A = this chain, B = another copy of it.
């Protein structure tokens, strides 16, 4: 029996992800911050001065994406980049005063966003959901070895 597109769980996940991204994109628009750029900022608000490589690992993103997003954030005046003294290859990202100030406005929005997302979902349900997500991730990760 042939599957229709709607039978593929991967497609449902993909479409949900697009909904989520679209939603948060709208929320962040007024701050001139794109969703993935915001993730870098979230890391820096937590710990300033991370290298691009550290950010790349934490966000599980390609280093090329981080480089371009960092360049973009620098252009917007939220961060500046400076070569690391110990290792001249590495570049550390530091918040500008503007970037620091932005956190006070954006962090509450991020937390409120999460509240909206999980509304009407019990803790138990969410935990089970995350378990299934992890199973799915692991099922396809085996390719990478």
Contact = CB atoms under 8 A, between A and B. Distances in A.
A83 interface: no
Interface in A1-39: 2-5, 7-24, 26, 39
Interface residues of A, number: 55
A69 to B, nearest CB: 15
| A interface, over-half SS | helix
Contacts of A86: none
A4 B46 contact: yes
Interface of A: 2-5, 7-24, 26, 39, 42-43, 46, 58-60, 107, 110-111, 113-114, 116-121, 125-126, 128-130, 132-133, 135-137, 139-141, 143
Contact of A12 (B14, B43, B116, B133): B133
A8 B114 contact: yes
Nearest to A115: B139
